[in-house]
Structure 1
C-alpha cells in the first residue's frame, strides 16, 4: 500500500512542472519538458549532495519508504525510538525528512522522464516529426531505473563508498544525458564548421572532468575533505605520507579497510591529495579549451560559463579546506561540478554538430521540433 502512496506523491510533485510546460505558450512543449527536467535533475543532484553532507543518507534505514511507510509523519514513533536509543546516530526526524524529500523528487524526475518517453513514442506512432528518436528518453528511463537500484543499495549497504560514489556518478550521467538531449532539441544560434576541429579536445575535457568528479565523489563519500587542513601544502608538506593501497581499495565498508580495520589518516590523505592535485590538471586544460572555443559564436556563451564556474569551483574547493567544510559552500561545490558537466556536454554537442554534414542534419532535426 505504501508503494502506491509513494508513487502518488511522486506524481503529484511532477504535476507542477508538467502543468507549467502544458500552459506555457510554446509550440514545442517536448523541448520545454526536456529543459525543465534537466533543470530539476540539476537541483536533485545538488539536493543529493546536501543529503550526503548532512549525514542523512540513513535517515530512513530502509528503502524506498521510511520504516515501511510513505512518510516520516507516519513513521514518527519508529524514528523517535531510534533517535532516543542513539541520539548521535544517523536517524532523526530532520534527517528522515531530508532523505525522503530526496526520494520524492527522484520519483518525480522519473515521472517526467516517463512523460517524455510517452510523448516521443506517440509522436513516432502518429508520424509527427520530433527532433529525437523515442529511444533517447527510453534509454533515460532505463538509466533512472538503474540509478534507483543504486539508491536502494546506498541504504541497504550502509553508505559503502563505492556504492555511494557510483550512485552519484549515475545521477550525473542522467544529468549529462538530459543535457545532451536538451541541446539536441534546441536550435543552435549558428553553425561554424571550423569549431569541429576541437571535437576531440572537447571530448578529452569532458573525460578529464568525469575523472575529477569521480575523485571528488570518493573524497566526499569517504569523508576525506579535511584530511588536508591547509593549502597549497597538505598538513605542512608538499608530498605528505599517504596510503594509496587502502585509500583507493574500492570494495570496503565506510571508514574501514579491506581487512576490516579502521581506515588510517594516511589513506584519507591519499584520497584528498589525489583529488586536489588532479584538479590543477583539469583546471589548466579546461581553461585552455574554453579560451579556444569562446572565439566561435555558437560556443562563446558556454565557454565563458566554463571559465566562470572553474573560478567558482576553485574558490569553493579552497574554502572547504580553510573554513573547515561549511555546508553551504560544500553544496555549492557539488553543484558547480554538475553545472560544469552540463556546460561541457553542450560544448561537446555543438562541436560535434559543427562537422561537415552534421550541421545540416542537426538543422533539419531542430527545424522539425
Structure 2
C-alpha cells in the first residue's frame, strides 16, 4: 500500500506538470509544432539538428519547420505518455490491492480518451472545441487523482483511529455538512468559469481587451452572446484563431464577468465554511482555497495589464486546476460527514467513517 500511495503522489505531480506543459505549448503557439501524431515530422523526436530540420522540410515542403515549437510539442507528448503509463500502473495496482478500483478504472478510461483528444487536436488543426475538451480532460485527471489520494489518506487515518479512539466517536461539524448544496453550486460556477477561460484561450481572445474593468469603450454595442457560443467550423486550420474581433471581444468580456461572479460566489462560500468549520484539516483547506483564489485574481489582472505574459498565463492555468482540485476534495469531505450524520441518525450504534477532524496541530481524530 505504501508503494501504491507513492505512485499516486508521483502521478499527481506528473499531472500538474502535464497541465503546465500543455498550457505552455498552447501559449507558445506550438500546438501544431508537429503536424503529425504521435511522431513529429515522421520521427519520434523533434527536428533540432540541421540535417533533421532539412529532412523534415523536405518531407513537409508546404510547412515551415520550427524546431522550438516542435520541441515544446514533443516534450509535452513525452511527459503525457509517461503519465499514461503511471495511470496504467495505478489501474493494475488497484486490482492487485482490491481497492480503489472504480477510481482507477475511471482514470484509465479518461487518460485513453485524453490521448485520442491529443491526436484530434493535431489532426483537426486546433479545432477550439477539441482543444477545450483536451484542457478540461487534463483538469479532470488531476481531480480524480486528488480524490484517489484523499481516499487513501482517509483510509489510512481510519485505520489509525480504529486502534486509538473510543467507540463513542461521532460525526462533527453538522453545520458545515449542511452546506453541501452551496458547495455544489460553487463547483458548477468554477467549472463554468474554467470552461470560459479555456474557450478564451483556444479562440486566441486572451489579449483582445486591455482596459479595465471589462474592455475598451464601446464594447457594450459590440457584445453578443450568440457570437460567444458560435462554433467555428469548416476551416482548414484554426491556428491563431478564425473568429472576428466582435466574437473574440464578447468571449473575453464574458470571461471577465464570469471571473467577478466566481470571486463573489466562491468568496462567500469560503467565508461561510470558515465560520462553520471547527477542525484544523478543513480550515486549512479553506485557507488554501482562499489564497489560491486571491492569487488567481492577481494573475488575471496581470494578464490584462501586461497583455498575457507567458509564464503568468501558465500560472493562471495551473492555479485554476489547483482551485478545482482542492474544492472537490473539500466537498468530498463534506459529503462523508453528511453520510456519517445520516447513519448516526438512523443507527444508534457507533459508526466509523473516514472523516478527519484535527483538534490541534499534530493531533488527529478520525470520525
- TM-score range normalised by the length of the shorter chain: 0.7 to 0.9
SS class of match (1:355): helix
Q: CA deviation at 1:356?
A: 4.0
SS class of match (2:153): coil
2:36 — aligned with what? 62
Q: TM-score under structure 1 normalisation?
A: 0.81
1:35 aligns with 2:6: no
CA distance in 2, matches of 1:222, 1:309: 26
Q: CA deviation at 1:363?
A: 5.7
SS class of match (1:71): coil
CA distance in 2, matches of 1:232, 1:350: 36
1:283 to 236, 251, 263: 263
Q: CA deviation at 1:192?
A: 2.8
Q: TM-score under structure 2 normalisation?
A: 0.82
Range with greater deviation from structure 2 (55-64 or 224-233): 224-233
SS class of match (1:354): helix
CA distance in 1, matches of 2:112, 2:92: 16
Range with greater deviation from structure 2 (239-248 or 201-210): 239-248
SS class of match (1:362): coil
Residue 190 of structure 2 contacts residue 324 of structure 2 at CA under 8 Å; is this kept in 1? yes
1:311 aligns with 2:294: yes
Q: CA deviation at 1:80?
A: 5.0
2:164 — aligned with what? none
1:94 — aligned with what? 68
Taking a change above 3 Å as real, the CA distance of residues 203 and 32 of structure 1, as seen in their structure-2 partners, is farther
1:263 — aligned with what? 243
Q: CA RMSD in A?
A: 2.7
Q: CA deviation at 1:136?
A: 1.8
SS class of match (1:361): coil
CA distance in 1, matches of 2:244, 2:177: 48
Q: CA deviation at 1:28?
A: 2.0
2:352 to 346, 360, 363: 360
Residue 47 of structure 2 contacts residue 70 of structure 2 at CA under 8 Å; is this kept in 1? no
**Matches for 1:218-297 after TM superposition, within 5 Å:** 218-237=199-218, 239-252=220-233, 263-295=243-275, 296=277, 297=279
Taking a change above 3 Å as real, the CA distance of residues 240 and 307 of structure 1, as seen in their structure-2 partners, is farther
**Matches for 1:1-369 after TM superposition, within 5 Å:** 28-73=2-47, 75-79=52-56, 91-124=65-98, 130=99, 132=100, 134-187=101-154, 192-194=172-174, 195-237=176-218, 239-252=220-233, 263-295=243-275, 296=277, 297=279, 298-357=281-340, 360-362=352-354
SS class of match (1:64): coil
Query: Which of the pair has more CA radius of gyration?
Result: 2
CA distance in 1, matches of 2:55, 2:206: 33
2:167 — aligned with what? none
Gaps of 5+ in 1: 1-26, 125-129
Per-residue CA deviation, residues 106-139 of structure 1 (Å, 9 max, x unaligned), is 1111111111111111122xxxxx4x2x232122
Taking a change above 3 Å as real, the CA distance of residues 240 and 276 of structure 1, as seen in their structure-2 partners, is farther
Residue 66 of structure 1 contacts residue 100 of structure 1 at CA under 8 Å; is this kept in 2? yes
Number of residues of Structure 1 aligned to a counterpart in Structure 2: 326
Q: CA deviation at 1:209?
A: 0.7
Residue 214 of structure 2 contacts residue 256 of structure 2 at CA under 8 Å; is this kept in 1? no
CA distance in 2, matches of 1:100, 1:291: 43
CA distance in 1, matches of 2:138, 2:218: 35
CA distance in 1, matches of 2:84, 2:242: 38
